[in-house]
Amino acid sequence: MRTPAPETRPVALTIAGSDSGGGAGIQADLATMTAHGVFGTSVITAVTAQHTRGVESSFVLPREEVAAQLDAVTGDFAVGAAKTGMLATTEIVRLVADRAPEFDFPLVVDPVMVATSGDRLLEPEAEQAYEDLLGEATLATPNADEAEVLSGVEVVDADSAREAGEAILETGVDAVLVKGGHVPGETVRDRLVTESGVETFEHPRIGTQATHGSGCTLAAAIAARLAGGEPLESAVEDATDVLARAVRYYSDVGEGHGAVNHAVELRNAAAREPTAEAVRTVVADLVDRDVSRLVPEVGMNVVGATPYAESVAETAAVEGRITRTLDGVRPNRGVQFGASTHLAAVLLAARESAPELRFAVNCRLDGAIEDALAELDWTVAENGLDEDVFADSEAPPVAVIDRADVGQEATVKLVAEDAETLAERTLELCDRLE
């Protein structure tokens, strides 16, 4: 017999409805908890027949069955934090409110009332019952509409969000995160209101309607982080960052708008090593072929972004760049994340409009190279001439010329969706020069 090697992880609990479509509810919560490295447990309040287009029907479980699940979980597991989602009825809101004083762990209340699709998930009478539950909670996470129902303050901007948050604090909840997703504007501002003040977390709005499951995922991410021992403010801030990425790289499933990507951080972490390895392969190809002719005075680099990269720290490149030697070219050190700043910034900027681009290399620019570029059947753009050369993401350019300022070296950057294509194109350009 082999010796088992068990691991102990923090335990989180979700008290919510089942979404057969997998984007929201219990399914979103458990996926998010798993992606955060915590063990997820659940108390199901209602079973919805749901997909990416809306809710077909909903069956609320008997109060006793909800209570039995709650007893089963809290009576056995060392729950580190819990969150509530769809509570469906006054009866269930009251049940959780009655049990909450016994909870020796933080409780996040997402006061789910209406789904993104417009379908009601809470009987209207139950809105009042939320007051008692909030009084027992650590954090409430209402969107603008829910904050208005709970506070009577219409949330239309950052000031009214703070006002609504302050009014909700009067229920006795420790903190209120008034979410900004439903407030129009290019920047989404989530405001965390506590007795000691207001903190604002900002993210650029993403041009998608695939936000199904966003509220569930955010509250579950906060609960998972609290279960892991993270303090409230940083748990909230980090969870809003996770959600921004989960929305940008949403799961394109179903015939509706899709759902948020619950596992995006996990996938991003898993993509790091293959990305670094792909950069190493390109570098090896460039060394084998001896691309000296293409190496700029400042040195050459090859950069690879994970499919979800948003920062330089999520791009891999050669530390110390690739430089010419007497008999060829050589990478100065190994491939590391965060090793490129300039080329990584160019790639990240391109990814704003063309997120499918993942690899780039910078090459020398001189007359012969420009002639070779013209001979190749590539779309070549010039930085500084067009507004955003990547804005037409139907056909993003293959090469971008940077004429550079006085005292700086002009270069051409090649970009590609995958490492093989980048290597092929770089070698093709090199071949043309002979």
For the CB of residue 86, give the shortest distance to ligand MP5 in the complex, in Å. 4
SS3 label, residue 192: strand
Q: Which is nearer to ligand MP5, 116 or 315 (CB)?
A: 116
- Cβ proximity to ligand MP5, 54 vs 338, nearer residue: 54
When CB distances to ligand MP5 are compared, the closest residue is: 25
Other C-beta atoms closer than 10 Å to the C-beta of 195 total 8
C-beta of 24 vs 365, nearer to ligand MP5:
24
DSSP letter for each residue of 31-92: HHHHHTT-EEEEEEEEEEEEETTEEEEEEEPPHHHHHHHHHHHHTTS-EEEEEE---BSHHH
Token pair recorded at residue 238: 């980090």
Which CB atom, from 82 or from 112, has the smaller least distance to ligand MP5?
A: 112
- Least spacing, CB of residue 30 vs ligand MP5, in Å: 12
Between 215 and 331, CB nearer to ligand MP5: 215
Strands 335-337 and 399-402: unpaired
Task: Select 253 or 287, whichever has its Cβ closest to ligand MP5.
Answer: 253
Torsion (CA) 269, 274, 275, 277 in degrees, nearest 10: 140
Strands (E), 300-417: 302-305, 315-318, 322-325, 328-331, 335-337, 359-364, 380-382, 399-402, 411-416
Q: Which is nearer to ligand MP5, 73 or 86 (CB)?
A: 86
On whether the CB atoms of residues 168 and 147 are closer than 8 A, the answer is: yes
Helix (H) or strand (E) holding 134: helix 126-135
Binding site for ligand MP5 (CB under 6 A): 16-17, 19, 24-25, 48, 50, 85-86, 112, 115-117, 121, 212-216
Q: How far is the CB of 50 from ligand MP5 (least distance, A)?
A: 6
Phi, psi of 179 (to 5 degrees): -80, 145
